[in-house]
Amino acid sequence: MAKRGRGRPVIQTLTDPQKRLLQAIEAYLVQNGMSPTMRELAEEVGHGVASVFKQVQRLERNGYISRVPGKTRSLTVLRSADEEPVVGLVAIPLVGTVVAGQPLLAQENVLGELLVDATTVRTGRHFALKVSGRSMIDAGINSGDVVIVRQQPLADHRDIVVALLNDEATVKRLHHRGSEVSLLPENPQFKPIPVGPDDDLRIVGKVVAIRRR
């Protein structure tokens, strides 16, 4: 069984089509010394480009390959199709507070470690944060729950994020349309938080799972 470090991508069982696709990528890299394009890969396996692209995305999410969005030949094999699957738990830092001006995982912020299912933290660095307050109860996040967060500086419209707004940490749903940005609670008793041009908004990460208290 391969040794896994904290936050390392997870190996999951391959379906037969995924295994054939991964083997085709490996073979092309060996024979040509460069990554295939999506069209070349589709011709290799005899499927449409759209279908192959979806399978590539799934292989990427499961930690078998990596790619650079927008680049034609950027597929890199991280795990061979012949490797045995790795399953189990991964330890991630449990953070008590998110404080502006401090490194997120500074020693004084970390309360300990939390074991989570490896499939939850497939790629990237993750941390766990204990939630205080009732502003997100309609999203199923109650006071005392722990959210599992993937560290990332950007997020999409409607993502639930951990954000720093003017040096205050909060868990909210991101609303981003054109020039309008706001942080939305999921509780009618709380008002949306508009983000103005003079506000300092920083996305700490995206909530990917919830651990009930």
Residue 172 annotated among the catalytic residues of the structure = yes
How remote is the C-alpha of 143 from its chain's centroid? 23
Q: What is the pTM of this model?
A: 0.58
Q: What is the CATH number of domain 16-77?
A: 1.10.10.10
Residue 182 annotated among the catalytic residues of the structure = no
Q: Class of 89-211 per CATH?
A: mainly beta
> pLDDT value at position 137?
92
pLDDT averaged per 10 residues, the chain (length 213)? 42 76 85 82 90 90 79 78 61 75 67 79 86 90 90 93 89 91 95 93 92 76
Catalytic residue among 172, 182, 191, 206: 172
Q: Would 16-77 and 89-211 be classified into the same CATH topology?
A: no
Task: State the residue for tokens 């295939």.
Answer: 36
Say which DSSP state 75 is in.
-
**What is the DSSP code string of 107-132?**
TTTEEEEEEEEGGG--SS-EEEEE--
> pLDDT value at position 102?
63
Catalytic residue among 71, 80, 130, 135: 135
**What is the DSSP code string of 79-93?**
S-TTSPP--SEEEEE
Report domain extents, the chain.
16-77, 89-211
